[in-house]
Chains A and B, each alone.
Chain A
Amino acid sequence: MRPSTDIASARAGPTPGRFAHIGDRAWGWGLTILGGTILVVAGLILLELGRVAAPAFDHIRIFRFLTSSDWDPVQEKFGALPFIYGTLVTSIVAILVALPVSVGLALFLSEMGPRRLRPPVAYAIEVLAAIPSVIFGLWGLFVMVPWLREFLQPALQRTLGFLPFFRGPMIGLGYLAAGLILALMILPTIASVTIEVLKTVPPALKEGALALGATRWEAIRIAVLPYARPGILGATLLGLGRALGETMAVTMVIGNSPEISASLFAPGYSLPAVIANEFAEATGDVHIGALASLGLVLFGITLVLNAVAQVLIMTVARGPRGAKA
């Protein structure tokens, strides 16, 4: 709730004029400068990225950059398709797994779960959110990958092996491993935003459905979820943004192989992973520039995603459109 306008103007100090206190003016200016630094930081990020990437611009044609699979820095050939492909595939796998689980988690914590179980589960999700990504990578590499290799991948191939996604040699590392570990990491993001969104749904809607003789799930299905849908979409986009930019856990389990393959069992690469692996020992400004250009692509995509997600979440908080008095 925004405070009344009186207090809002008092916050900024009394209106400048004959009685303006010098302290208020200085305070106001000081704060404005500090607030402006956010914009400066944003501009700085954009400019620096561009500057580091610039040496590569002469050597890259955008079309070739985005569609060629030939990444050979020594020969100054920069085709980023395998990385883009890998980033997209792992993120899609992550969303496909994380979305239902997160919504289930959110529903459990706000509607359907036994009340006594809610605080410990909520706490566990907070713990999940706080774990550094390199530790996820460690666990993924030494625990999840062998499990995939010995158990899940053979099971998937037995049952769904007719699909191109589940064919080929099963080494554990690869798109599937990266997608699954990403799903685990973005669960808290999607779940917590979804819970906030569910809280903004007016309880009268659920009551209305229950009064018609709906079961608890039906009331959620017809009254709560449709209302919350844009917000859940926003939460998903936030999760997607996080998945796209995730580096360490992915690079530790994806296999780091710049090949494109339809099979999820195959090793691959991703945009953040290649930057992480090659940047420190990059050969020359052009190579660095190319890697920074990959960073620009990543920056642009996550920027758009986060902006759209913010708008969607605010839409739900503001209430349904077209409501008349």
Chain B
Amino acid sequence: MISSLETATPMTPFEERPHESGHRTAAAPRVATPKLTVRGLSAWYGKNRALHDVNLTVAPRSVMAAIGPSGCGKSTFLRCLNRMHELIPGARAEGTLLLDGKDLLGRDVDPVTLRRRVGMVFQRPNPFPTMSVRDNVAAGLRLNRVGGDHDEIVERTLRQAALWDEVKDRLGASALSLSGGQQQRLCIARALAVEPEVLLMDEPASALDPIATAKIEDLIHELKERYTIVIVTHNMQQAGRVSDHTAFFYMGDLVEVGPTEKIFTNPSEKRTEDYVTGKFG
């Protein structure tokens, strides 16, 4: 990993630096208080318990990867973070989930407003097919009655999603005229347009070819500057490439969580070691 310390410019925690495609090491968090705190989170589908007592914290402007074999609960975990889990009939979640200290699972928290602060990108790109590229990005703005110049916001977020140059001449074209990888970046732009603080990504590149995947991974590095990201992936190498911290789930339990480098080279738990070395999965 290229350390940003190798550039000549001295860095301060709050200075905006021109960004090359460098990565930030996990050892340089900017602020100490965690963005997300999860305590005792359990989730059920009807009678089946999918998550047991999960405890972890996510540092602001970092990437946390959730890994584990199929059915281990990592996607369920992700969906609890923006309360999409409870939309499934018969599903429920209990525990404490703090965003900047405020409990998201509390009765007085409206899931609708929550989802503006915690955005989500899905496994398969799901742009609204009847809308143009521009309208897709602006969809969240229109819904949430955000004022201001939508066109300017659309351009800004498309640039953030590294898609602007490819679509700037066809903002009015149907969203479906884009390739799969472009559609996924469009969905990312759409999620970013409402300016969330946390971005949840559920296996965002699993439906894409390797080149598109690489672009998404580069994008995550860039987005990390401004957003806190939690990404679920079944691809361990991807987790190693993009994340600062990794959480390993197995059969509904959070087995181990820690800096990515440690999880992959020197994990504390045997199960973690078995998984990352490919002994099962």
Show the binding face of A for B, using Cβ within 8 Å. Answer: 115, 202, 204-205, 207-215, 218, 222-223, 226-227, 229, 320-325
Q: How far is the CA of A308 from the CA of B275 in the complex (A)?
A: 56
| Contact yes or no, A209 B130, CB < 8 A | no
B89 A115 Cβ-Cβ under 8 A: yes
Contacts of B115 in A (CB 8 A): 210-213
Q: Across the interface, do B84 and A211 meet the contact criterion of CB distance under 8 Å? A: yes
- A selection of 29 A-B contacts at a CB cut-off of 8 Å is A115-B89, A204-B122, A204-B124, A205-B128, A205-B129, A207-B122, A208-B122, A208-B126, A209-B128, A209-B143, A210-B84, A211-B119, A211-B191, A212-B116, A212-B119, A212-B144, A212-B191, A213-B113, A213-B143, A222-B139, A222-B143, A223-B128, A226-B130, A320-B176, A321-B176, A322-B174, A323-B129, A323-B176, A324-B179
| Shortest distance between the CB of B143 and any CB in chain A (Å) | 5
Nearest chain A residue, comparing its CB with the CB of B136: A208
Looking at A207, A209, A211, A322, which has the most chain B CB atoms within 10 Å of its CB? A211
Q: Is A222 in contact with B128, judged by CB distance below 8 angstroms?
A: yes
- The main secondary structure of chain B at its interface with chain A is mixed
Name B172-191 residues within 8 Å CB distance of A: 174, 176-180, 187, 190-191
B8 to chain A, nearest CB (A): 41
Task: Tell me the residues in window 110-150 of chain B with beta carbons closer than 8 Å to chain A beta carbons.
Answer: 112-116, 119-120, 122, 124, 126-131, 139-140, 143-144
Chain B residues with Cβ below 8 Å from A223 are 128
Does B194 reach chain A (CB closer than 8 Å)?
Answer: yes
On whether the beta carbons of B87 and A210 are closer than 8 Å, the reply is yes
Partner-A contacts on B (CB < 8 A): 82, 84, 87, 89, 112-116, 119-120, 122, 124, 126-131, 139-140, 143-144, 174, 176-180, 187, 190-191, 194
Given A207-B84, A324-B177: A214 and B129 within 8 A (CB)?
A: no
B residues less than 8 Å from A210 (CB atoms): 84, 87, 115
Interface core residue of B87, B114, B119, B130 (most chain A CB under 10 Å):
B130
In whole Å, how far is B184's beta carbon from the nearest beta carbon of chain A? 12
Q: Which residues of A contact B190 (CB under 8 A)?
A: 208, 212
Task: Output the nearest chain B residue to A319 by Cβ-Cβ distance.
Answer: B129
Query: Is there an interface contact between A214 and B112, defined as CB atoms closer than 8 Å?
Result: yes
A322 touches B176 (CB 8 A): yes
Closest-by-CB residue of A relative to B193 is A212
Contact B87 A212 (CB under 8 A): no
**Contacts of B114 on A, CB cut-off 8 Å?**
213
A202 to B126, CA, bound (A): 9
CB-CB nearest 10 A-B residue pairs: A226-B130, A211-B120, A213-B115, A212-B140, A320-B129, A213-B116, A204-B126, A208-B126, A323-B176, A322-B176
CB distance from A233 to the nearest CB of B (A): 14
- A204-B126, A222-B128, A227-B129 known; A214+B143 contact, CB < 8 A: yes
Distance in angstroms from A40 CB to nearest chain B CB is 42
- Which residue of chain B has the shortest Cβ distance to A226 in the bound complex? B130
CB of A102 to closest CB in B, whole Å: 21
Find chain A residues with CB under 8 A from B127 CB. 208
User: In angstroms, how far is the closest chain A Cβ from the Cβ of B188?
Assistant: 12
Instruction: Name the contact of A213 in the complex, choosing from B87, B112, B129 (C-beta under 8 A).
Output: B112
Residue with the greatest number of chain A CB neighbours at <10 A, chosen from B89, B112, B187, B191? B112
CB-defined contacts of B176 to chain A, threshold 8 Å: 320-324
Which residues of chain B come closer than 8 Å to A211, judged between CB atoms? 82, 84, 115, 119-120, 122, 191
Q: Determine the chain A residues whose CB is within 8 A of the CB of B89 once the complex forms.
A: 115
C-alpha spacing A209/B139, complex, angstroms: 8
Residue of A nearest to B129 (CB): A320
> Contacts of B194 on A, CB cut-off 8 Å?
212-213
How far, in Å, is B141 (CB) from chain A's closest CB?
9
In the complex, which residues of chain A have a beta carbon less than 8 angstroms from the beta carbon of B122? 204, 207-208, 211
With a cutoff of 8 Å between Cβ atoms, the chain A residues found around residue B144 in the complex are 212-213
Which residue of B has the minimal Cβ distance to A214? B143
How far, in angstroms, from A182 to B50 measured CA to CA in the complex? 51
Bound complex: CA A207 to CA B116 (Å): 14
Not counting A204-B122, A209-B128, A212-B191, a sample of 14 additional A-B residue pairs whose C-beta atoms are within 8 angstroms of each other reads A202-B126, A207-B126, A208-B122, A210-B84, A212-B116, A212-B144, A213-B140, A213-B143, A213-B144, A213-B194, A222-B131, A227-B130, A320-B129, A320-B176
User: With A and B bound together, what is the CA distance between A205 and B140 in angstroms?
Assistant: 13
A206 nearest CB across to chain B (Å):
9
Closest partner residue, chain B, to A229 (CB atom) = B130
Chain B residues with CB under 8 A of A207: 84, 122, 126
In the complex, chain B residues whose CB is within 8 Å of the CB of A208: 122, 126-128, 187, 190
